[in-house]
């Protein structure tokens, strides 16, 4: 049973995923019922899925539903955070070879409100593939929080410092 507006939170494999509880707490405070969908990389390197399930009261989804699980209710809004270089580029290119990417493709087509909070360094952000992907997603109506006053890419190998200023709150406000 859901207790509020439904938020689907897609978590990718980058440093802020270790602190995803900060975003979930802000979302709960704002009245959202949060369902986490995590990439394989996020689960392997960054997440404690048991704690997340306890915090959200829902299992963390990484793949298609098993027959014994209740379905995830459709979202009122979607946040992708932290959004990696990999997921942003694959999503914009129409690649759907994982559960999270397939879901994102469908939700984009449905016109659901989607907010993306990237976490990439300046070197990755400068790639033409990436800037074109951001442009493509924005043309699809996806809100990508990158630029002045939003997420600003950091110099390579300074990710740990950049974590301190990661604008979780902006993602919730935008949703």
Ligand X SMILES: Cc1cc2nc3c(=O)[nH]c(=O)nc-3n(C[C@H](O)[C@H](O)[C@H](O)COP(=O)(O)O)c2cc1C
User: Would you tell me which residues interact with ligand X (CB under 6 A)?
Assistant: 12-15, 39, 41-42, 45, 84-87, 119-120, 124, 159
Nearer to ligand X, 4 or 156 (CB): 156
Q: Where are the alpha helices (DSSP H) in the chain?
A: 20-29, 40-45, 49-56, 85-92, 99-110, 122-125, 128-139, 159-163, 168-174
Query: Closest-CB residue for ligand X?
Result: 13
In terms of Cα–Cα distance, which of 163, 8, 10, 4 is closest to 81? 10
Minimum distance from CB of 112 to ligand X (Å)?
Answer: 20
Nearer to ligand X, 119 or 151 (CB): 119
Contact 123, 156 (CB under 8 A): yes
Minimum distance from CB of 147 to ligand X (Å)?
Answer: 17
Nearer to ligand X, 120 or 175 (CB): 120
Minimum distance from CB of 73 to ligand X (Å)?
Answer: 24
Minimum distance from CB of 39 to ligand X (Å)?
Answer: 3
Nearer to ligand X, 57 or 126 (CB): 126
Contact 169, 137 (CB under 8 A): no
Q: What is the DSSP letter of 162?
A: H
Task: Identify any residues that bridge with 80 across adjacent strands, giving them in sequence order.
Answer: 10, 116
């Amino acid at each position: 049973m859901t207790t509020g507006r439904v938020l689907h939170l897609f978590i990718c494999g980058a440093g802020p995923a270790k602190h995803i509880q900060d975003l979930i707490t802000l979302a709960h405070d704002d009245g959202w019922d949060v369902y986490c969908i995590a990439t394989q990389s996020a689960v392997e390197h960054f997440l404690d899925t048991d704690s997340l399930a306890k915090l959200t009261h829902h299992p963390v989804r990484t793949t298609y539903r098993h027959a014994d699980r209740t379905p995830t209710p459709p979202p009122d809004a979607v946040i992708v955070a932290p959004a990696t270089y990999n997921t942003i580029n694959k999503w914009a290119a129409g690649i759907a070879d994982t559960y999270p990417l397939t879901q994102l493709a469908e939700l984009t087509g449905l016109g659901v409100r989607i907010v993306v909070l990237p976490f990439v360094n300046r070197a990755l952000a400068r790639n033409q593939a990436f800037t074109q992907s951001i442009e493509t997603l924005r043309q699809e109506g996806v809100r990508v929080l990158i630029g002045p006053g939003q997420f600003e890419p950091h110099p390579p190998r300074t990710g740990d410092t950049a974590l301190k200023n990661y604008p979780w709150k902006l993602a919730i406000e935008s949703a």
